Amino acid sequence: MEQAAKVEEIKGKALGEIAGCADEAALIRVHNAYLAKKSELSALMGAMKSVPPTERASFGKAINDCRKAIEAAYSEKEKAIKAAVLARKLEAETIDISLPPRERKIGHVNPYYQIIDEMTDIFVGMGFEVKEGRDVETDHYNFELLNVPKDHPARDMQDTFYITDSLLLRTQTSAAQAHAMVEKADKGPIKMICPGKCYRRDDDDVTHSHQFGQIEGLVVDKGVSLADLKGTLELFVKKMFGEKRQIRLRSSYFPFTEPSVEVDVSCAHCGGKGCDMCKGTGWIEILGAGEVHPNVLRMCGYDPEVYSGFAFGVGVERIAILRYGIDDIRRFYQNDERFLKDYLEK
Ligand code: PHE
């Protein structure tokens, strides 16, 4: 019965080693050592012939039981090791949910474009078409077609950035008026606005910037009068600043309009009584406008005996400053996040 004792011994050793395994690799090594083809247990199985026939059945069973016991201990231990590994991993990867999250910065429309969108919406609501202009213009469109020939003193009003003798950075969106009329194939009615940037050699300060936005408006049709201009701008101002705002037209001069006017809006701050905002006058200037000059109509291919029109040019930042109480035009271009954020919350 020496072999039966041997089986018991193998089993005891195997179970002991399995119990002592610290990780999966060690466990696999023990498993292979005891259950592989060349193991002691297999050798005993091969020695079956030397066992007396009467004892063979019980000996075979003893070996099988031993094998099963080792397998069972192995899978038990395997489960325990895997559970321990997982527990260690969870412990190591613990997330501290009490930490405050990182602030996410969400981008938004720049106030400059936001105000353009608002103004554009109002004019589109009145049936204006939106045209795109160009920042780099020819002297021809920026000046000549607008009744400002080369030696005209009005050129001094707008200190121009010239690129070449005939190319320049647009000083006014009025260049878009000329484009609209010249490019209108059937020379029929026009009702358009053109938002865009303009450039002048100004010294930057609180109210001046060498770069600023304008929205040009142009209406050309038969029988268009200054009353139409006034009605259009009144509606715009009321939609932009509120029902209570009024406008007033003051006589002015632009080479491309006749008559020309400057348009003021009643001061929202003091309601017209006079304050710092309106320099005591009760009114704040917001734009230049007028009836399209017959020379301009003619140069752009329209017969001034048949057609008339009005045009206006409104400063984008000016409107934003009044609407949102922004104190310095330069803020639009400095990209200071605090300003941009501040503006959003208003
Ligand atoms: N272009 C003029 C300016 O920049 C404004 C204007 C536009 C005046 C259209 C009359 C008509 O000052």
| Interval between CA 156 and ligand 1 midpoint (Å) | 15
288 pocket-lining for ligand 1 (C-beta < 6 Å): yes
pLDDT: which is higher, 296 or 10: 296
Query: For residue 240, which of 343, 321, 149, 148 has the smallest C-alpha distance?
Result: 321
312 pocket-lining for ligand 1 (C-beta < 6 Å): yes
From the alpha carbon of 174, which atom of ligand 1 is closest?
A: 1
Q: Average pLDDT, whole number, for the chain? A: 91
213 pocket-lining for ligand 1 (C-beta < 6 Å): no
| Interval between CA 18 and ligand 1 midpoint (Å) | 94
Give the pLDDT confidence of 293-331 residue by residue, as tens digits.
999 999 999 999 999 999 999 999 989 988 888 888 888
Max alpha carbon distance in the chain (Å)?
135
Mutate to test the pocket of ligand 1, among 145, 198, 254, 312 (most ligand atoms within 8 A of CB): 254
| Interval between CA 312 and ligand 1 midpoint (Å) | 6
257 pocket-lining for ligand 1 (C-beta < 6 Å): yes
Question: Is 345 a residue whose pLDDT tops 60?
Answer: no
CA atoms within 13 A on the CB side of 344: 12
pLDDT of amino acid 334: 83
pLDDT of amino acid 223: 97
Task: Give the CATH architecture of domain 111-344.
Answer: 2-Layer Sandwich (3.30)
Confidence class of residue 174 from pLDDT cuts 50, 70 and 90?
Answer: very high
116 pocket-lining for ligand 1 (C-beta < 6 Å): no
Residue with CA at minimum distance from ligand 1 atom 9: 312
Question: Is 277 a residue whose pLDDT tops 90?
Answer: no
pLDDT of amino acid 261: 98
In the chain, domain spans: 2-92, 111-344
Query: Which of 53-62, 85-94, 131-140, 234-243 is predicted with the least confidence, judged by mean pLDDT?
Result: 53-62
From the alpha carbon of 177, which atom of ligand 1 is closest?
A: 9
* 235 close to 312: Cβ distance less than 8 angstroms: no
* 260 close to 251: Cβ distance less than 8 angstroms: yes
Query: Which of 170-179, 299-308, 330-339 is predicted with the least confidence, judged by mean pLDDT?
Result: 330-339
| Interval between CA 273 and ligand 1 midpoint (Å) | 28
Residue with CA at minimum distance from ligand 1 atom 4: 172
DSSP 8-state class, residue 342? H
289 pocket-lining for ligand 1 (C-beta < 6 Å): yes
DSSP element (H, E) containing 25:
helix 24-35
Question: Is 346 a residue whose pLDDT tops 60?
Answer: no
Question: Is 226 a residue whose pLDDT tops 70?
Answer: yes
State whether residue 229 is helix, strand or coil. helix
pLDDT: which is higher, 37 or 77: 77
| Interval between CA 256 and ligand 1 midpoint (Å) | 8
- Pairing state of beta strands 129-130 and 190-199? parallel
315 pocket-lining for ligand 1 (C-beta < 6 Å): no
309 pocket-lining for ligand 1 (C-beta < 6 Å): no
Percent of the chain with pLDDT over 70: 99
pLDDT of amino acid 108: 78
232 pocket-lining for ligand 1 (C-beta < 6 Å): no
Confidence class of residue 228 from pLDDT cuts 50, 70 and 90?
Answer: very high
| Interval between CA 188 and ligand 1 midpoint (Å) | 23
Across residues 172-190, what is the average pLDDT?
A: 97
State which of 77-86, 160-169, 289-298 shows the largest mean pLDDT. Answer: 289-298
pLDDT of amino acid 344: 58
pLDDT of amino acid 123: 98
313 pocket-lining for ligand 1 (C-beta < 6 Å): yes
Q: Amino acid identity of 160?
A: T
**b/e per residue, 136-170, with b = 16+ CB within 10 A?**
ebbbebbbbbbbbeeeeeebeebebeeeeeeebbb
From the alpha carbon of 310, which atom of ligand 1 is closest?
A: 11
Question: Is 53 a residue whose pLDDT tops 90?
Answer: no
| Interval between CA 289 and ligand 1 midpoint (Å) | 6
